[in-house]
Amino acid sequence: MTITLHHLENSRSQRILWLLEELGVDYRIKRYQRDKTTSLAPPELFKVHPLGKSPVITDGAITVAESGAIIEYLVDQYDTGRLRPAAGTSEHLAYTYWLHYAEGTFMPLMIISLLMGKVESAPMPFFIKPVARGIVSKVRSGYLDQNVRRNLDFMESSLDQSTWFCGEDLTAADIQMSFALEAAEVRTNLSADYPNLAGFLERMRALPTYQAALKKGGPYQLMGVTK
Ligand SMILES: N[C@@H](CCC(=O)N[C@@H](CS)C(=O)NCC(=O)O)C(=O)O
């Protein structure tokens, strides 16, 4: 069976590419471009999975969507015990936590932030602008900013004592967290305010497998920043 990664440009799919490189398995990449105006995925992705999102993989007759599920599937099938800590250990509990946290808690905040930015910059009649800006400002001050800060503080302190999120060894949960931190990096001053998180990104970018994934994936421009 050959694994196919259905790879949408500038997307979470980059983390699966990195995982595939870490696993050292054979795979092929099918590329998809975002719509130039809306940034949405093209209709061809709906032929792979009904939600039309990326990442999604096919492995023979099997189709798996959702980053966390794809990671679990690939680790189950192809890892040799390196990228997921042994069941029953505290590292495994941390692994499960961060694997779910990235998409369950942190990424929704990044999406709200992205959408608020889009509302602020959307073309609209001049008399609507103050209303739209007022709503965005309320969402930011009443909910978003404090939650983003609390989560960044929490992630930062979680890396006080360890190199990676589950200890001294890189796990697939770190790969899941990579996109969350890359998304945070474009909206906050990570290197000044969150040295542990900036250090994580630096260590990750120095890994040959991360670099190989970047090379295979092509230009990677995350919400305005070229990597
Ligand atoms: N929680 C999902 C999110 C999938 C998702 O929203 N992917 C984005 C790319 S980062 C996408 O496909 N966007 C294009 C669209 O919504 O049309 C996962 O982690 O797989």
CA of 150 to the centre of ligand 1 (A): 24
Q: Which atom of ligand 1 is nearest to the CA of 102?
A: 19
Q: Which atom of ligand 1 is nearest to the CA of 34?
A: 14
Which mutation among 15, 32, 34, 54 tests ligand 1's pocket best, with the greatest number of atoms within 8 A of CB? Answer: 54
**Rounded mean pLDDT for each run of 10 residues along the chain, 227 residues in total:** 94 98 98 94 98 98 98 98 97 98 97 93 93 96 97 98 98 98 93 96 98 94 63
Residue 132 pLDDT:
95
CB of 10 within 6 A of ligand 1: the answer is no
CB of 85 within 6 A of ligand 1: the answer is no
Question: pTM to 2 decimals?
Answer: 0.96
Residue 196 pLDDT:
98
Residue 27 pLDDT:
98
Which mutation among 8, 10, 12, 70 tests ligand 1's pocket best, with the greatest number of atoms within 8 A of CB? Answer: 12
CA of 11 to the centre of ligand 1 (A): 7
For ligand 1, atom 20: residue with the closest CA = 66
Structure tokens at 152: 């960044």
CB of 11 within 6 A of ligand 1: the answer is yes
Q: Give the torsion sign (CA, 194, 198, 203, 207).
A: positive
Residue 223 pLDDT:
66
N- to C-terminal Cα distance for the chain? 32
Residue 88 pLDDT:
98
CB of 158 within 6 A of ligand 1: the answer is no
CB of 171 within 6 A of ligand 1: the answer is no
CB of 54 within 6 A of ligand 1: the answer is yes
Q: Which atom of ligand 1 is nearest to the CA of 54?
A: 12
CA of 88 to the centre of ligand 1 (A): 31
